[in-house]
Chain A
């Protein structure tokens, strides 16, 4: 097993970008950084323009019904009584798209919201917890948990049994996490305010780990257009470095045969397949194929660099193809 520095130096070409005139033109037109568009052309080929356009339209609103507090049929009936129109998403256990809403109240201020009957959550971001599928006997680590959407979703899947250790490094992000845990009635969570990487200094092992890694947020540009020009190449590199360190930590904290779901709200291969490829090549982890979602396969070749074929078993969501936020999810197992 080599070091992260060795691994990065082997793949240094991944972070070298030469921008074409076409990328520069499209970047001006859509308000993105040049190097970002160059990468989209590399990823999407003829569909790059379609992707760029889709980033200008807001995403469909969606909610996760919280069965820890309410039956979904009752929730739908109550919200429809207030003028909302909901449609069940057939590929998610508890996900609903909000097809129409009344002028008042807003989705985030209904009585049912305050009662913790639902959580406003992107459709693709409901996928990682479903894939990890924690059971009541599991001891789960959630490595970057605020604001708690996936944490409380895991509590729901576990029927409030077992144990989730939810870690949040930033003190300011603990408050919304705790608020959501209280509101949604998640009883099996212990919140730690520390850097997940420090956990290796304690005698701890987990049967399942969710690593929804801090990232550039390149997948949520439709929700936050400032991200079109926020992340410079050197910052993207820094995100990758931190993600590799977190992946390394996750591996060390997993029990033998333990399962890990790695996800980001970024479509950048530097933050996604590159990190999973490290888990496969350097840590010897196995990628478990993910099949039952309407999503694209992982990218095995990008910017002149080839990854292990195993990363093809990861999944990607895009706004222009799947009408969700851009998202990456990969299911791994420690051998």
Chain B
């Protein structure tokens, strides 16, 4: 018998409810987030069949009411995290925020950055002492999440999710 597709339900959650996810991210990317993170936003959780998604939106008194009306909501504000199988995956808009609070950063010359933004791995001579990092531009802009793998002669940098995704996603 085919399984019924679970309806995605959007609900406003308290900022304290994302703390456990933030702690996970902080550990992975060496971040120190403020206590009142997202205090200026409405935080929304969408619970689907395979994964949950966390969004932040501008503060609005109407938003919680709108989400209760039974409309076919697809998206609220911008996505900041996906939670799947107990693992937390920060999204690109979260990266913009993380860049201010996290220490695991990878700064590379633009030609190498371009390769990563097109989804390709690169190897550099530098050694990094972390395995999850934020790829940033020379101006300090967040460009993507990367995984780092130490090799004999340096570090292999593997793009995990980067802003080149916007070109591939048909936007």
- Which residues of A are at the interface with B, using a C-beta cutoff of 8 A? 108-109, 111, 113-116, 139, 147-148, 160-163, 165, 168, 174-176, 178-183, 185-194, 202-204
Contact = CB atoms under 8 A, between A and B. Distances in A.
Nearest to B75: A191
- DSSP majority for the B interface? mixed
Interface of B: 41, 56-58, 60, 62-63, 66-67, 69-79, 91-93, 96, 110, 113, 117, 137, 141, 143, 163-164, 166-167, 169-171
B69 A203 contact: yes
Contact of A186 (B78, B92, B110): B78
B56 A187 contact: yes
A189 B92 CA distance: 17
A165 B57 CA distance: 12
Contacts of A191: 73-76
Nearest to A161: B58
B76 A176 contact: no
Contacts of A111: 110, 113, 117, 137, 143
Given A187-B41, A192-B71, A179 B169 contact: yes
Nearest to A159: B58
Given A163-B60, A163-B62, A163-B63, A179 B166 contact: yes
Contacts of B73: 190-192
Contact of A165 (B66, B93, B167, B169): B66
Contact of A115 (B79, B141, B169): B141
Nearest to A204: B69
Q: Which 5 A-B pairs have the closest CB atoms?
A: A179-B171, A191-B75, A114-B163, A188-B58, A179-B169
A216 to B, nearest CB: 23
Contacts of A192: 71-74
A193 B62 contact: no
Contacts of B71: 192, 194, 202
Contacts of A109: 167
A295 B27 CA distance: 57
A148 B143 CA distance: 22
